[in-house]
Structure 1
Amino acid sequence: MPMRRWQSALALLALCVSGAALAQTPSSGTWPGATTPPPAPSVEAVTSPTRVSSVELELRPRFGGTEATAINHLAGPVEVTLLADGPPPIATPALPARVAVPGDSRLVIAQLQDGAAGTRLRLVAIPGLPGARARNVEYLYPLRDAPVRIAQGFGGGFSHADDENRHAVDFAVPAGTPVLAARDGLVMQVESGATARLDPQAIVDAGDDRVRGNFIRVLHDDGTMALYAHLQQAGVVVAPGARVLRGTIIGFSGNTGLSAAPHLHFVVQANRGMRLESLPFRMAGPNGPLRFGQVQAGAEPARP
């Protein structure tokens, strides 16, 4: 997983014409956006994202102005903020406007008055709700019939130094190992189209979901979310909206995305108000509780 925090990105569009700004899947912070080809040439098009969009910013003429609506295609909630580059237009509520959008739903963010032609907006979104309060639960070791080999643990200096991954764990495991749900939850988001690992020298936007390869995001009943990343090609066997039980096979490990070797990247995250933060967690291993500590890449597994 990348060390640096994901960069904020723009979903740009002129307010005087209806259209939709498509945002990349919000798996880890803000993401690039782009306008769909508009019927009018005055709307500026931006480079399209490389993943199928899961959140849209829709603009429609209404009541002598423009209505801005967030459309969430994920199975779980997202928090979005609508901002203007430069002087903000007159809007109700005033920009920046921040709302939570439930899964598989749409919600009006703001009504913008006429006279805002040429204004550019950016839609920033984070998965989950900001009020999540993590329960003290014990997670299940998320691999079946595989010895515990921790390549990188809490605070690992290779790629676990940022807020979103500080309490992540990389389990070194052969590709094709069954991945288990570590806790009951709702499948909020999946990506299964990656076919190979990325070249570490390639220029990849940190907001691009390709860095995780194939992955599954599971929403827990306390609002926290578990991310299972770098799954193999066709290695996702659950669909968004499905409820999974602890111990259920949800996929198969792999080496897709920005991955140096076959492994499973596992992290529990929560939305802390328009930002993702990884959370420490307890986990039961095959022979008792696991302790992760600050295990660096290539280190021997931590002992209970």
Structure 2
Amino acid sequence: MGRDIPGKPPRRRAVRGAAAVLGILLLMLLGAGLAAYAVFTGPRDLSNYPPAAESPYLLPWSAGVTRLCVQSNRGIVSHRGGEQYAYDFYMPEGSDVCAARAGEVVTVVRHHDGHGYRWPNNKVVVRHDDGTLAAYLHIQKDGSRVAVGDRVAQGQVIAASGHVGNSMMPHLHFHVSDPARGGTIPLSFADVKRHSGVPRMFFRYTSGNGR
């Protein structure tokens, strides 16, 4: 005759024990992921960035609209090397893209469609008076609202955002490069009122562009 074993059935105890171990492992992985994000992504030395109050740049979408930063500087997905100072902002397809700073349009690519790894991209590039170049990427097919040679004002709508090129979601990729120095350059936005004007991944920001 078997003996009665007090307490919960062995199988139920084993399942709950395994679930507890799995939960601990998931928390450890989450902690490791957050630590890796803090160490390997995001702005490293804010002393390299111009003070937000002195920045000539405003967020590249319409005033009063709030967008999520889905990848910041030194982003773990693609913002490395020459593009380490780039930003990605989530935008539904067809959203207005506004000039972050006044300048002259020097490049427009508008005929590509579709997205995927190494897929060709659409873009608008604006040269500022100091020679720096602002690039607006992943523009919707035929979504540019300007032509090469146009002079654009800060806040002017220059394109419709899209999901074209090397893109995992509808978004706008924005960076500024300096041909004299090579690669992208650190920049802040005058209308970003926290984080020293430097957008961080997974934070939302409201534009003051065009007010």
Match of 1:281 in 2: 187
- Residue 148 of structure 1, CA deviation: 2.4
Give the Cα–Cα distance (whole angstroms) in 1 for the partners of residues 205 and 76 of structure 2: 16
TM-score by length of 1: 0.46
Corresponding position: 1:291 with 2:188:
no
CA shift in 2, pair 1:286/1:161, >3 Å: closer
| 1:95-110 aligned within 5 A | none
- Residue 154 of structure 1, CA deviation: 1.0
Count how many residue pairs are aligned between Structure 1 and Structure 2: 153
Of Structure 1 and Structure 2, the greater strand share is in: 1
CA shift in 2, pair 1:302/1:174, >3 Å: closer
Aligned equivalent of 1:244, options 149, 152, 171: 152
Aligned equivalent of 2:139, options 231, 237, 248: 231
- Residue 195 of structure 1, CA deviation: 1.7
Give the Cα–Cα distance (whole angstroms) in 2 for the partners of residues 230 and 146 of structure 1: 19
Q: Aligned with 1:183: secondary structure?
A: coil
Match of 1:257 in 2: 165
- Residue 157 of structure 1, CA deviation: 1.2
What do the CA deviations read for 1:67-124 (whole angstroms, capped 9, x no partner)? xxxxxxxxxxxxxxxxxxxxxxxxxxxxxxxxxxxxxxxxxxxxxxxxxxxxxxxxxx
Match of 1:189 in 2: 107
Give the Cα–Cα distance (whole angstroms) in 2 for the partners of residues 287 and 176 of structure 1: 27
| 1:1-304 aligned within 5 A | 137-144=55-62, 146-163=65-82, 165-198=83-116, 200=117, 204=118, 210-211=119-120, 213-272=121-180, 276-285=182-191, 290-293=197-200, 295=201, 299-301=202-204
Of Structure 1 and Structure 2, the greater helix share is in: 2
Match of 1:46 in 2: none
- Residue 233 of structure 1, CA deviation: 1.3
Question: Is there any run of 5+ residues in structure 1 with no aligned partner, and where?
Answer: 1-133, 205-209
Given that 1:151 and 1:301 are in contact with CA atoms closer than 8 Å, whether structure 2 keeps it comes out as no
Given that 1:194 and 1:233 are in contact with CA atoms closer than 8 Å, whether structure 2 keeps it comes out as yes
Q: Aligned with 2:186: secondary structure?
A: coil
Q: Which amino acid aligns with 1:292?
A: P
Given that 2:115 and 2:166 are in contact with CA atoms closer than 8 Å, whether structure 1 keeps it comes out as yes
Larger Rg: 2
Higher relative contact order, chain-length normalized (CA < 8 Å, sep 6+): 2
TM-score by length of 2: 0.66
Of 279-288 and 258-267, the range deviating more from structure 2: 279-288
Q: Aligned with 1:170: secondary structure?
A: strand
- Residue 141 of structure 1, CA deviation: 1.0
Q: Aligned with 1:150: secondary structure?
A: strand
Give the Cα–Cα distance (whole angstroms) in 2 for the partners of residues 146 and 233 of structure 1: 23
Give the Cα–Cα distance (whole angstroms) in 2 for the partners of residues 222 and 179 of structure 1: 22
Give the Cα–Cα distance (whole angstroms) in 1 for the partners of residues 158 and 129 of structure 2: 18
Of 260-269 and 144-153, the range deviating more from structure 2: 144-153
- Residue 175 of structure 1, CA deviation: 0.7
Give the Cα–Cα distance (whole angstroms) in 2 for the partners of residues 250 and 259 of structure 1: 20
Q: Aligned with 1:277: secondary structure?
A: coil
Q: Which amino acid aligns with 1:280?
A: P
Give the Cα–Cα distance (whole angstroms) in 2 for the partners of residues 224 and 184 of structure 1: 11
- Residue 277 of structure 1, CA deviation: 1.2
